[in-house]
């Protein structure tokens, strides 16, 4: 106990620590930076892994969580980069791997062959070690004199713990059989020696394991699967008949049906994260701020899909009864180049700024229907899309040109052939399910004929999402 300290009873040092706690020297600047370089690398690789598996992972809930985790990892990396730049170190070298053994671990984890292996790599191997490293860092630094680092790490740790908790619950849910459990244990046993060889995320963790590294699955450069997959709950994912865009604009339809169409549009927006994941994966060499912005937008779009999901849940509607096709993301991912995909995405967002047919109208429709929850959702959907249009301009103008040039280029891209749509449409009957959908959801006959002229040949447009 320190003595001879004048006090009037108020906690000292802004309440951050006692004198005893603050009188201990923590990590020096160089040690701090060394560790944060490792954390930053792992956060950026977790971002990459989430993007890489958004399309091939069929489970709906995992797609949503990967969207969130990708965004949070981008924010964590940004915070670490900023703090390193404040510690007499230039941030530019943070795009370099600080330890080849960490790179080996992350490349091995990318070779997961199914959802179980993906989840094991993320939530039994890499994120637990990252959480351990962050906890140790908080315990070892001075909370007063290195408070900026303390605050960054504490905030990141809270979110990493939430991600880890969700991931372990999700993994437990998908381990249905003894064979599933054996797959999980086998892949964990495969990856753990790579983690141990690196000394964990912080390079100092003692991890009991067989010292021998197993034969690597890495045989060349990683190539992500960007062909969207869904589980059985999305139904016939190649039935591209989609009337929601027509119905919500139909002035002759009842408002409850127009809102139903809006909420289906929201629910359908999972195809936007699937498409955006392919853009960030196939656009290397950008400043980290680009990946951060794209991560934010990707997560926003997943939240928009959750708006529809929650609206259906509130009304007790089983969303697995009707198709939730993947055509928009599938076509763009497989038929267009990354920059072309981004141009189309911006083209849609810019059109949504139109006060007569865009997001303002969608909000007004929900208001007119006196649907409080749908109005609330559309309010935030509208706000998000204004931000997304700004993000598109920020990154496309240097690469393409001004807004007029971008729009003209988008029209050219939209007029190009869509071979994957044409091919996949032959695999599934193109049926118009909207009247049955309205009957089941609203208990009445559809009041809209908008779009029903496309019963046999679906109209596929670049307004499919947004």
pLDDT digits (tens, 9 = 90+) for 145-167: 999 999 999 999 999 999 999 99
Backbone φ and ψ of 125, nearest 5°: -120, -65
For residues 19 and 5, is the Cβ–Cβ distance under 8 A?
Answer: yes
Counting Cβ atoms within 10 Å, is residue 423 exposed (0-12), middle (13-18) or buried (19+)?
A: exposed
Domain annotation for the chain: domains and CATH numbers: 23-197 (1.20.1260.10), 232-454 (1.20.910)
User: pLDDT class for 457, splitting at 50, 70, 90?
Assistant: very low
User: pLDDT class for 66, splitting at 50, 70, 90?
Assistant: very high
For residues 57 and 66, is the Cβ–Cβ distance under 8 A?
Answer: yes
Counting Cβ atoms within 10 Å, is residue 360 exposed (0-12), middle (13-18) or buried (19+)?
A: middle
For residues 447 and 252, is the Cβ–Cβ distance under 8 A?
Answer: yes
Range picked from 8-12, 124-128, 210-214 for highest mean pLDDT: 124-128
User: pLDDT class for 466, splitting at 50, 70, 90?
Assistant: low
Report pLDDT for 456: 42
47, two tokens: 């971002």
CA nearest neighbour of 122 among 182, 42, 59: 42
For residues 240 and 297, is the Cβ–Cβ distance under 8 A?
Answer: no
| pLDDT score of 446 more than 60 | yes
Spatial separation of the C-alpha atoms in residues 315 and 323, rounded to whole Å:
18
Report pLDDT for 5: 82
User: Residue range 64-72: average pLDDT?
Assistant: 98
Give the up-direction half-sphere exposure of residue 42: CA atoms within 13 A in the CB hemisphere.
Answer: 28
265, two tokens: 């549009």
463, two tokens: 């307004």
User: Residue range 206-223: average pLDDT?
Assistant: 89
Report pLDDT for 53: 98
CA nearest neighbour of 62 among 115, 9, 114: 115
pLDDT digits (tens, 9 = 90+) for 314-358: 999 999 999 999 999 999 999 999 999 999 999 999 988 887 789
Average pLDDT, the chain: 93
Spatial separation of the C-alpha atoms in residues 290 and 392, rounded to whole Å:
10
């Amino acid at each position: 106990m320190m003595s001879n300290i004048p006090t009037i009873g108020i906690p000292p040092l802004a309440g951050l620590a006692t004198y005893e706690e603050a009188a201990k020297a923590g990590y020096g600047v160089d040690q701090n930076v060394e560790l944060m370089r490792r954390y930053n690398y792992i956060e950026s690789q977790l971002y990459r892994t989430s993007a890489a598996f958004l399309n091939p992972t069929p489970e709906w809930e995992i797609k949503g969580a990967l969207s969130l985790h990708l965004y949070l990892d981008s924010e964590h990396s940004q915070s670490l980069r900023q703090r390193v730049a404040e510690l007499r170190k230039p941030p530019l070298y943070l795009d370099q791997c600080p330890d080849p053994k960490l790179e080996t671990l992350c490349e091995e984890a990318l070779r997961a062959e199914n959802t179980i292996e993906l989840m094991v790599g993320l939530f039994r191997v890499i994120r637990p070690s990252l959480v351990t490293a962050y906890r140790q860092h908080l315990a070892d630094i001075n909370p007063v004199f290195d408070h900026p680092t303390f605050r960054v790490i504490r905030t990141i740790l809270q979110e990493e713990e939430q991600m880890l908790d969700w991931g372990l619950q999700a993994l437990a849910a998908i381990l249905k059989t003894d064979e599933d459990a054996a797959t999980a244990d086998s892949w964990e046993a495969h990856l753990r020696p790579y983690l141990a060889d690196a000394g964990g995320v912080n390079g100092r963790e003692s991890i009991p394991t067989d010292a021998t590294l197993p034969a690597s699955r890495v045989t060349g450069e990683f190539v992500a699967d960007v062909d969207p997959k869904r589980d059985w709950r999305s139904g016939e994912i190649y039935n591209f008949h989609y009337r929601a865009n027509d119905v919500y604009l139909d002035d002759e339809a009842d408002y409850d049906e127009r809102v139903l169409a809006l909420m289906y549009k929201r629910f359908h927006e999972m195809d936007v994260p699937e498409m955006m994941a392919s853009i960030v994966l196939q656009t290397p060499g950008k400043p980290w701020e680009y990946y951060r912005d794209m991560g934010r937008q990707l997560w926003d779009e997943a939240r928009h899909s959750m708006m529809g999901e929650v609206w259906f849940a509130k009304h007790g509607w089983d969303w697995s009864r009707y198709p939730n096709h993947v055509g928009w993301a599938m076509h763009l991912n497989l038929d267009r180049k990354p920059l072309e995909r981004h141009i189309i995405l911006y083209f849609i967002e810019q059109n949504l700024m139109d006060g007569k047919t865009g997001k303002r109208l969608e909000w007004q429709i929900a208001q007119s229907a006196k649907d409080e929850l749908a109005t609330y959702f559309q309010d935030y959907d509208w706000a998000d899309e204004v931000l997304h249009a700004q993000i598109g301009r920020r990154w496309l103008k240097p690469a393409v040109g001004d807004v007029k040039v971008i729009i003209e280029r988008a029209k050219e891209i939209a007029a190009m052939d869509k071979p994957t749509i044409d091919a996949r449409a032959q695999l599934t009957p193109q049926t118009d399910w909207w009247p049955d959908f309205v009957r089941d959801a609203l208990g009445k006959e559809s009041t809209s004929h908008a779009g029903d002229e496309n019963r046999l040949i679906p109209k596929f447009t670049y307004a499919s999402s947004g």
